[in-house]
Amino acid sequence: MLTDCDTSYVNDQDSGAERHINIHLSPEIMGGVYANFANVSHSDYEFTVTFARVDHEVESEEVPGVVVSRVNLSPRFMRELIDAMEDNYSKWRTREGIKNLPEYGGAEAGSEEE
């Protein structure tokens, strides 16, 4: 069974024409992977983001972990990804801030951790 993900974007080369990308996801991919650590590196031509799951409970100098995914991106796509992440993070912070308003039974303003 494949699940579809319909995504819209504006193509700069088509004078702002909107296109829809229909992405198919298998159940294995749709489940995703958990990562609590990421490392970003780059070369002259690309960025590489390595996602890992590490065990922070270990008290030794060397923290064990396993890479769960590695993604290579062009510089242009990296910029688009950063913009999308900043936009989504801002929306998330706004929503969380609303939840913390006293009239919604949340914590007092200013007590929220980053």
Q: Report yes or no: 46 and 74 within 8 Å, Cβ to Cβ.
A: yes
Give yes or no: residues 79 and 114 share one domain.
Answer: yes
Closest-CA residue to 35 (of 7, 5, 70, 1): 70
pLDDT in tens, 9-31: 555 555 667 888 888 889 888 88
Residue ranges making up the domain that contains 62: 34-73
The average pLDDT across 28-42 equals: 94
Report how far residue 55's alpha carbon sits from residue 34's, in angstroms, rounded to the nearest whole number: 12
Question: Are 79 and 66 in a shared domain?
Answer: no
Q: Do residue 59 and residue 86 come from a single domain?
A: no
Q: pLDDT tens digits, residue range 48-93? A: 999 999 998 888 888 889 999 999 999 999 999 999 999 999 999 9
- Both 68 and 80 in one domain: the answer is no
pTM above 0.85, yes or no: no
Q: Can you give the pLDDT at residue 58?
A: 83
